[in-house]
Amino acid sequence: MIVVIDFGSQYNQLIARRVREQKVYCQIEPPDIDIERLKSLHPEGIILSGGPASIYEEDSPRATPEIFDLGVPVLGICYGMQFMVDALGGTVSGAEKREYGFARLQIRKEDALLAGVGQGTQCWMSHGDSITGLPQGFEVTATTENTPMAAAGDPARGFYGLQFHPEVEHTPKGKQMLKNFLFSVCGCRGEWTMKAFAEEAISEIRNSVGDKQVILGLSGGVDSSVTAMLIHQAIGNQLTCIFVDNGLLRQNEGVRLKKIFTQHLRMNIDYVDAADRFIDALQGVTDPEEKRKIIGKIFMDVFEAEAQKIKNADFLAQGTLYPDIIESQSAFGGPTSIIKSHHNVGGLPEKMKLKLIEPLKFLFKDEVRELGETLELPDELVWRQPFPGPGLSIRVIGEITAKRLEVLRRADAILLEEIRESGYYRKLWQSFAVLLPIKSVGVMGDKRTYENILAIRAVTSVDAMTADWAKLPHDLLGKISNRIINEVDGVNRVVYDISSKPPSTIEWE
């Protein structure tokens, strides 16, 4: 295993991901980790992450210099390299200005870290201070135009430093460098699997929960489902999942999810049918943000009332993923992370004095799906497309009525059926129908119609930050359109949304 010491860089979780991609287990620890604890982890190597601080600042984060006496290789990245150089007797000087952006790497000496990297490769720089003197035993191995000590190493002790970020996509050969560190320098074997991650996480949950109760807001999405599965395997019925049916779900979704979780997975599910409360409160509301506010507030009220009923509940579990915390990351990571304000249960833990359990917080979506498969979560849940908390309310554009919701639900069900049938479901990030608040003229049989327009949205994406409209085959689009117009009363025209994000968004509201 590899320990990443987290000096607060926005990229530190990415380092962990890159290591895990090589099938080497990796754990992130704070800079003040106790040396005895570090030893007990038996790392094959240590990576010192980058960070926003300057080594000169009085309260800049530091790890104990004893980490350099453990006899294990150390790779310092950016601030991590500067910390290492400073701790081992080299010098770091304040730079006049920050170096930020691309640079070309000139290799002066191909050591174990830089093997196979090649001359002139691009690397991503983002640092203020610069190294001006190396500790004894170190040698410069690469330079860039502005950074005479872009890479350095002391192979005898297994210490290496990179002034740039090998973990980001902007450093295309970064993966090679990390691989070199893991396999050539540290001697890792690359045999770690998601099964091992699950076992670790389960035992950690067991230890921290003890005999207390855990509650979890279950939406049926892959994140909350995998979290539930993991915690259920750890503590069984000490977990209660609260599922709030807000009446804004897709066709048959609530019933179907309830059945899978209670009958198939045998979990303790508190299913709350609060549809009327939500729908009533949304009467006459057309503004999307207003819709979100109303839904968020009622959700909190309903969830809190249910949670109060569970005695001895000390913990709240959330399926927070790494991309959820990436922008709201606290300075030095650590076990507590800031909850995004738009999160459905944001605010609850403080209000109810619950401790948070976030077992997926270092994982990306594709890793969560892999974990779900490892835990034998049904495919239907593992491969579920993301669905927004406010549900269909933001897909009935304008005012929401029971009738309009029903029209959308039926059209959406047909769309999904065809998308699944065609084999596109897993290839798309999301695919759904949107009911527009305008009518158009049509002709059915011999009769003139004046009915709703329905839009189809299908996008590809890796993280929802950007998205492209999906190039679905025309005959598939034709079939969906035909079926919807013929089978759903109230729709006489179907259009396909061909906008990408940005400048559009995935949802219409």
Site for ligand XMP in 342-361 (CB under 6 A): 342
Under rule CB under 6 A, residue 70 binds ligand XMP: no
Site string for ligand XMP, 422-461 (x = CB under 6 A): --------x-------------------------------
Under rule CB under 6 A, residue 388 binds ligand XMP: yes
How does DSSP classify residue 384?
A: P
Task: Give ∠ CA 20-73-140 in degrees, rounded to 5.
Answer: 110
Q: Pick the catalytic residue from 29, 99, 167, 418.
A: 167
Phi, psi of 233 (to 5 degrees): -65, -25
Tokens of 103: 């640079």
Under rule CB under 6 A, residue 221 binds ligand XMP: no
Site string for ligand XMP, 463-492 (x = CB under 6 A): -x----------------------------
Please name which of 205, 206, 213, 232 lies closest in space to residue 314, comparing C-alpha atoms.
Answer: 213
End-to-end, the C-alpha distance of the chain in Å comes to 45
The residue type found at 427 is K
CB of 287 to ligand XMP, least distance (A): 13
Tokens of 434: 């949107």
Helix (H), strand (E) at residue 493: strand 491-496
Site string for ligand XMP, 283-322 (x = CB under 6 A): ---------x------------------------------
133/437 with CB nearer ligand XMP: 437
Under rule CB under 6 A, residue 220 binds ligand XMP: no
> Which residues, listed in sequence order, are joined to residue 501 by a DSSP beta bridge?
467
Near ligand XMP by CB under 6 A, which window of 7-15, 178-186, 313-321, 498-506? 498-506
Q: Is 367 a catalytic residue?
A: no
Task: Give ∠ CA 340-208-239 in degrees, rounded to 5.
Answer: 75
Longest Cα–Cα distance of the chain, Å, equals 91
18 CB burial (10 A radius; 0-12, 13-18, 19+)? buried
Q: Pick the catalytic residue from 26, 123, 165, 232.
A: 165
Nearby residues of 380 by Cβ (< 8 Å), 6 or more positions away: 260
Under rule CB under 6 A, residue 505 binds ligand XMP: yes
Say how far apart CA 173 and CA 169 lie, in whole Å: 9
129/324 with CB nearer ligand XMP: 324
247/388 with CB nearer ligand XMP: 388
Helices 365-374 and 222-235: angle between axes, nearest 10 degrees: 40
Binding ligand XMP by CB under 6 A: which of 226, 390, 413, 492?
390
39/342 with CB nearer ligand XMP: 342
> Which residues, listed in sequence order, are joined to residue 215 by a DSSP beta bridge?
240, 316
Q: Which residue has the tokens 């005695």?
A: 311
Q: If DSSP codes are grouped into helix, strand and coil, which group holds residue 443?
A: strand
Binding ligand XMP by CB under 6 A: which of 386, 398, 442, 490?
386
CB of 504 to ligand XMP, least distance (A): 8
Q: Is 167 a catalytic residue?
A: yes
73/388 with CB nearer ligand XMP: 388
The residue type found at 277 is R
Task: Give ∠ CA 41-173-61 in degrees, rounded to 5.
Answer: 45
Under rule CB under 6 A, residue 497 binds ligand XMP: no
Q: If DSSP codes are grouped into helix, strand and coil, which group holds residue 294?
A: helix
Near ligand XMP by CB under 6 A, which window of 251-259, 261-269, 386-394, 405-413? 386-394
323/490 with CB nearer ligand XMP: 323
Near ligand XMP by CB under 6 A, which window of 12-20, 106-114, 231-239, 501-509? 501-509
Q: Pick the catalytic residue from 26, 29, 78, 127.
A: 78
Given the rule CB under 6 A, which residues bind ligand XMP?
Answer: 292, 342, 386, 388-390, 430, 464, 501, 505-507
The catalytic residue positions are 78, 165, 167
